[in-house]
Structure 1
Amino acid sequence: MTTSLTAALDVELRKLAASRVIRTTTVLVVAGITILASALTSATRNGNDQIAAQLGPLADTDGWMLLTGVAAQVTAAGGLLAFGVALSWLVGREFSDATITGLFAQPVSRPVIVSAKLLSHLLWAVLVAVALTALIALTGTLLGLGAWHADVRSALGRQLVLTILSALLATPAAWAATLGRGPLPGIATTIALIVIAQVTAVAGAGAWFPPAAPALWALQPDTVSAPQLTAVTVVPVTFTALTVAAWARLQLDR
């Protein structure tokens, strides 16, 4: 099993590295979120009332807290969408490209193959999270936002964790792409998660809804308890198991 998973992971990592979809998504997440966060931060600091109104309570902050807060806010929605699209493509392309039939003849089992896909997605997401956090830190330094005190380091740490959790919360997309036999159902599921997370956050129940809890924690750590944040792991664990089980039951005639 370990040897098969290692071989499958090597193949999936090669696919991932060669993929234009993944390369484009990486640029959009890392550079896009950083540019948007820095632009909104600069506009707010320069007294743009329209931007300040859109940011809500964040408009009352300044310096590093403003930059990291805006970055977390953008990552909450944009990161989840990007990771959901990427994972939908990694899993769903086997169906849309009609390569799924060839997997039945492989010596490596289908559950192992999809496990490798999920693991390669997670490894890629960790690299993206590190790159995004580092670029935000560099941007804040270049903008002259001040010294790196304890609160700044904590905010950057939460940004790193939020990005990784966003990738884990995208796991339902893999299950939906499997059941729907293509990327589009996975993407639709991701969008639905984002919408529901926004609604629950506005309703004040976001801390108990796993897709919304990490963003609330990143912005206001005191509003989300440790058990509520830990409950986020239920989503990737559950939907990883469902996806692996669905691949184990795949049939060529359906």
Structure 2
Amino acid sequence: MAKVILITGGSSGIGKSVGEFLTEKGFQVYGTSRTPNNYPNSKFPLVALDVADVVTIKTAVAEVISKAGRLDVLINNAGAGITGPIEEIPEEEIKRNFETNFFGPLNVIKAVLPQMRKQQSGLVINITSIAGYMGLPFRGVYSASKGALELITEAYRMELKPFNIEMTNVAPGDFATNIAAGRYHAPVKENSPYKTSYGNTLTLMDEHVNSGQDPKIMANAILKVITTTHPKGHYKVGETMQKFSIVLKRILPDKVYERLLMNHYKL
């Protein structure tokens, strides 16, 4: 029997690539979008879901279970970027980012767990970010929201062991997707003390995404996790140097690592 997979944020970017790849591999895939009718050519069915709206989460999960009869894998992929000097980002934008990147995934997990317990099996894959392993300049809020999801997954894994439900993080580096276009950018203000440093960093970040790797690499990594009997807690997918940056943080003195990051971002 083909595993039933639900992917949040399945209409574009990594979610779309992963959904199409897994559909080709014979899985029964459902994706989500806030506006599924806008994607009539999707290669897998999309259900309406807004991760910031608990009612839509519960409705979407119930719809998938009603249609498929079960739910084997949740891929918490929906997310949003945010950039800016932390001092200048409006508080409501910070909260909105945590709603999407942290509280949203948690609420989707809560919605699927009763079914997975009933089946006595299930897998939750949280798509985090290599940025969640370190506080990056002018991406601090994004780093914090993804880092929070990384840590809570570690706790959740232990709580779910008695129910034969697995949970893991897959942290991508930069991939060529539309995340930069959908990201909240705090404006570069003429009178801001951060004008030069933030402006330069913003240009650099967009270049990294535009020259990022093919999302199919991420799709292959997700397939490997799904077909692993007992996945480990953390997976990193990206260019060698991006993954190595996590190792460097573990072994280098704080100030040395901080200087490396500042040099990278030309600060």
Q: Which TM bucket (shorter chain)? A: 0.3 to 0.5
Structure 1 length-normalised TM: 0.35
More helix by share: 1
Structure of higher RCO (CA pairs closer than 8 Å, 6+ residues apart): 1
